[in-house]
């Protein structure tokens, strides 16, 4: 079952008399139990999309369905069964962590609010700061408090907008595991945006790449990486590095780094070009002391897509 459905969604803003298209007719679906990543450069329309789906922003046109219902017609049901966590908005900074979570638990009508609040505080290791005012928290603690709020009602649909910003690597790793475990246990549909590519790769089942308000590509991270046909080869030879460089340049290969006996070059995988080049290197008798072939990363995809018009 599709928990999130978006069809031909359009949102424009007016700024100084000019019309800016923030979301330009995008469509996608997120299934029950799926984590779906929205990737794209700043201003691509990711947060605008999430704001529309959470009811904070009115769309110009298009259809949105959450859990099979159009939010405008079934606001209460949709909002009671969904939640959002974003790094861009705090909870009330005058209240303590516990007070904030208690208020949200009551807003959602959670049956045993204190129990749920304590569970989440334990889960996100926030027990020590539970009675501290939000304004006195570090940004990493704040991020985790917002995540606690995002899970307070055991949502079936969760929107996570750059929700791991400011976490140190250890806590970020724990948080990612918590999100993943929560999703598996509850079959939650998660719409996830992040600037950390490894995070998106680790968590998301599918990724939509957004640029200029449009979805350019939707696929799994493995399939997206196949779009990049280049490999980066790091090679070190015992001697004759200069000859190797001359050979590669004669083959029309772009050497991007050369120092002492080490070279780094990029080579396409199209028409078995990489295998042919490597074969020639071996046959020429160059004595390799190190060889490392790097496949593309989501960062490469991000850069490639961001630069495409």
Partner 1 sequence: MKFYRINALLLKYYYITINRIDRIFDIFYWPVVDLFIWGFAAFYIQQLSDVNVLSMLLGGIILWIFVWRSSQDIAVFVLEDFWSRNLYHLFSTPVKLSEHMVSIVLIGFLRSLATFVFMALFGVLLYSFNILSISPLLLAASVFLLSLFGWVMGLFTTSFIFRYGQRIQVLAWSVVFLMQPFVCVFYPLSALPGWAAKIAVLLPPTHVFEALRAGISGNPVNYIYLGYSFLANMVLLILVVLFLNSSFKKSKMTGLLAKGG
- CB count, 10 Å around CB of 177? 12
Query: Is 66 exposed, middle or buried (CB count within 10 Å of its CB: 0-12, 13-18, 19+)?
Result: buried
Query: Toward partner 1, which CB reaches closer, 78 or 281?
Result: 78
Our finding on whether 3 is near partner 1 (CB under 8 A) is no
103 binds partner 1 (CB under 8 A): yes
CA distance 56 to 161: 14
Stretch of residues binding partner 1 (CB under 8 A), selected from 35-43, 81-89, 202-210, 216-224 = 81-89
189-193 vs 18-31, strand pairing mode? unpaired
For residue 108, give every residue at least 6 positions away whose Cβ sits within 8 Å of its Cβ, in sequence order, or none: 80, 152, 153
Q: Is 114 in the site for partner 1 (CB under 8 A)?
A: no
In the bound state with partner 1, the residue whose beta carbon lies nearer, of 163 and 305, is 163
Least distance between partner 1 and beta carbon 228 (Å): 34
217 binds partner 1 (CB under 8 A): no
CA angle centred on 306, ends 301 and 307, rounded to 5°: 105
C-beta of residue 148 within 8 angstroms of C-beta of residue 135: no
Stretch 50-69 residues interacting with partner 1 (CB under 8 A)? 51, 54-58
- Which residue of 44, 84, 117, 207 would you call a contact of partner 1, by CB under 8 A? 84
Asked if 221 touches partner 1 (CB under 8 A), the answer is no
Q: Segment 191-210, which members bind partner 1 (CB under 8 A)? A: none
- For the residues of 186-252, what is the DSSP string, one character each? HT-EEEEE-S-HHHHHHH-SEEEEEETTEEEEEE-HHHHHTT--EEEEEEEESS-HHHHHHHHHHTT
| 146 near partner 1 (CB under 8 A) | yes
Under 8 Å between Cβ of 254 and 266: yes
Q: How far apart are CA 179 and CA 286, in angstroms?
A: 49
Q: How far is the CB of 117 from partner 1 (least distance, A)?
A: 13
Measured distance CA(51)–CA(247) in Å, rounded: 54
220 binds partner 1 (CB under 8 A): no
Considering the rule CB under 8 A, would residue 80 count as an interface residue with partner 1? yes
Part in contact with partner 1 (CB under 8 A); list of ranges 37-45, 102-110, 219-227, 237-245: 102-110
Asked if 90 interacts with partner 1 (CB under 8 A), we say yes
DSSP 63: E
Residue among 29, 32, 133, 245 that touches partner 1 (CB under 8 A): 133
Yes or no: say if 102 and 113 are a contact pair by the CB < 8 Å rule: yes
User: Considering the complex, what minimum distance in angstroms separates the CB of residue 56 from partner 1?
Assistant: 4
107 is a contact residue toward partner 1 (CB under 8 A): yes
| Binding segment toward partner 1, per CB under 8 A, in 61-69, 87-95, 166-174, 212-220 | 87-95
Q: Counting contacts by CB under 8 A, is residue 7 touching partner 1?
A: no
Query: Which residue from 1, 18, 19, 76 is in contact with partner 1, where contact means CB under 8 A?
Result: 76
Site residues for partner 1 per CB under 8 A: 13, 47-48, 51, 54-58, 75-76, 79-80, 83-84, 86, 88-96, 99, 102-104, 106-109, 133-135, 146, 149
């Amino acid at each position: 079952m599709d928990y999130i459905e978006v069809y031909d969604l359009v949102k424009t803003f007016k700024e100084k008399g000019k019309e800016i298209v923030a979301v330009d007719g995008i469509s996608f679906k997120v299934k029950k139990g799926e984590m779906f990543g929205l990737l794209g450069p700043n201003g691509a329309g990711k947060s605008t999309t999430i704001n529309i789906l959470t009811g904070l922003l009115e769309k110009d046109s298009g259809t949105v369905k959450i859990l099979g219902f159009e939010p405008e017609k079934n606001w209460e049901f949709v909002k009671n069964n969904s939640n959002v966590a974003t790094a861009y908005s705090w909870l009330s900074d005058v209240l303590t962590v516990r007070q904030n979570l208690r208020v949200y638990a009551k807003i959602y009508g959670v049956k045993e609010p204190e129990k749920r609040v304590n569970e989440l505080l334990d889960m996100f290791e926030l027990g020590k700061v539970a009675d501290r005012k939000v304004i006195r928290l570090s940004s990493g603690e704040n991020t985790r408090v917002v995540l606690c709020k995002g899970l307070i009602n055991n949502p079936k649909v969760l929107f996570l907008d750059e929700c791991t910003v400011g976490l140190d690597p250890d806590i970020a790793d724990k948080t990612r595991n918590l999100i993943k475990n929560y999703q598996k246990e509850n079959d939650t549909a998660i719409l996830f945006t992040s600037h950390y590519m490894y995070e998106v790769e680790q968590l998301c089942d599918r990724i939509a790449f957004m640029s200029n308000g449009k979805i350019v590509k939707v696929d799994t991270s493995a399939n997206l990486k196949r779009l990049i046909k280049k490999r980066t080869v790091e090679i070190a030879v015992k001697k004759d590095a200069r000859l190797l460089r001359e050979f590669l340049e004669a083959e029309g290969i772009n050497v991007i780094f050369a120092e002492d006996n080490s070279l780094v070059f990029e080579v396409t995988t199209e028409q078995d070009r990489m295998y042919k080049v490597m074969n020639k290197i071996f046959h020429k008798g160059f004595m390799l002391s190190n060889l490392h072939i790097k496949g593309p990363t989501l960062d490469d995809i991000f850069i490639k897509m961001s630069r495409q018009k």
